Amino acid sequence: MEYRKLGISELELSTITYGAFAIGGNMWGGNEKKDSIDSIHASIDHCVTTIDTAPFYGFGLSEEMIGEALKSHDRSKVQLLTKFGLVWDGSSNGKGDFFFDADDNGKKVPVYKYSSKENVIKEIEESLKRLKTDYIDLLQIHWPDSTTPISETMEAVDTLIQQGKIRTFGVSNYSIPQIQEAQKTVQIASNQVAYSMLNRKIETDLIPFTAAENIGIIAYSPMERGLLTGKYFIDSKLKENDHRNGYFGQFDLQKVKTLVEELSSLANTKHISISQLVLRWTTLQKGISIVLAGARNAEQAISNAKTMDFDLSVSELEFINQAISKLK
Q: Which residues of 128-166 are buried (b: 16+ CB within 10 A; e: fewer)?
A: bebbebebbbbbbbbbbbeebebeebbebbeebbeeebb
Q: What is the DSSP string of 175-232?
A: -HHHHHHHTTTS---EEEEE-BTTB-GGGTTHHHHHHHHT-EEEEE-TTTTTGGGSHH
Assess whether 135 carries a catalytic annotation. Answer: no
Rounded Cα distance between 115 and 165, Å, is 17
Q: What are phi and psi of 290, to 5 degrees?
A: -135, 160
Q: CA 288, CA 207: separation in Å to the nearest integer?
A: 8
Per the residue annotation, which of 18, 57, 114, 220 is the catalytic one?
57
Count of other CB atoms within 10 angstroms of residue 310: 12
Those residues whose C-beta lies under 8 Å from the C-beta of residue 162, and which sit 6 or more positions away, are none
Where in the sequence numbering do the catalytic residues fall?
57
